[in-house]
Copies of this chain bind each other. A is one copy, B any other.
């Protein structure tokens, strides 16, 4: 068996990190209470704000995973008696619901994993009254669905609720409009469409949310967004607790790359790469999960496919892994039933072609596809626009 030293990371995060970004981490340590770190924090805030489409002063940058940012959002905004409408149609919606239950009183709204969010059902819950906060995942990467954020934002506004949106796996790879959509707090991670290493969460929280947080007495300590805002509005922009300086070097480099590419270009690249996967696998008889007729909108950054009849999705994942291409299976109840390919961050059309070619080989070996060759033309055509 061939052993490949470097693997191609094609999961929905963590993703390949560009060389420039990796090298940025090799820089010597600096004092995090000084002008140099302050300038880094400031530039990270400014570029992040452009991606969230909000004001730079709303941005907090936390050392921790996306989950840490989600906890900061839900924990700083809610007291235990506050009702939180937790929308769930996948693994990360479920995690948000669990988190909400730690800090508030959950009103669950569960859809089968892979089903779309039913806006009428959301409005029904809101109309029943007394919901303080809505939590939703924008890009539910466990099921490759893009949930209807602007519509939920409008409903939140109509019923006077706060709206917390998880954009962990979409910011930098899909269109996000925090201010326009009426999102009170949005949370992302560094290791998805931003193509930085994992370990940083970026949170955008507007004035309305911040004013409310001041009244919440049960805010977490390390993840206290009020403290982050206070530290970032001093003469020296800094963090309340020691930040992972090396990861900030990396994040800044990654954000500069986003700026160089241009956000619109980057979103289109993400779209075309994801669409190329969908077009190619469909052409060779693999069914998308969820089915085209059953989904409100597919993710812009990850694709999920049903494992063919008689095949375990985990075996497809393992066979790809042997070939040096790391893709994902399904999580929890979807394990074995689906497999997932990410197209996030610095992923290139070439990476997509490689992945599809290897997938076709794997499916041939399993007797699912008769002869290889079909995927390349189709994916190539979909992505051709990127070379125009």
Contact = CB atoms under 8 A, between A and B. Distances in A.
Interface of A: 6-7, 9, 11, 13-17, 22-23, 25-32, 34, 63-68, 71, 75, 98-99, 102, 189, 191, 197-200, 218, 220-223, 241-247, 250, 326
B241 A65 contact: yes
Contact of A22 (B28, B98, B218, B326): B28
Contact of A17 (B15, B28, B66, B198): B28
Contacts of A27: 22
Q: Which residue, of A16, A17, A200, has the highest number of chain B Cβ atoms within 10 A? A: A17
Q: How many copies are assembled?
A: 2
Contacts of A25: 22, 25-26, 246
A28 B11 contact: no
A26 B22 contact: yes
A198 B68 contact: no
Contact of A244 (B11, B13, B244, B326): B244
A28 B14 contact: no
A197 B67 contact: no
Contacts of A28: 6, 16-17, 22
A221 to B, nearest CB: 5
A67 B14 contact: no
15 contacts: A6-B28, A7-B31, A16-B29, A22-B28, A25-B26, A64-B222, A65-B222, A66-B241, A67-B221, A67-B242, A68-B222, A197-B246, A198-B244, A199-B242, A246-B250
A200 B7 CA distance: 26
A274 B199 CA distance: 33
A302 to B, nearest CB: 15
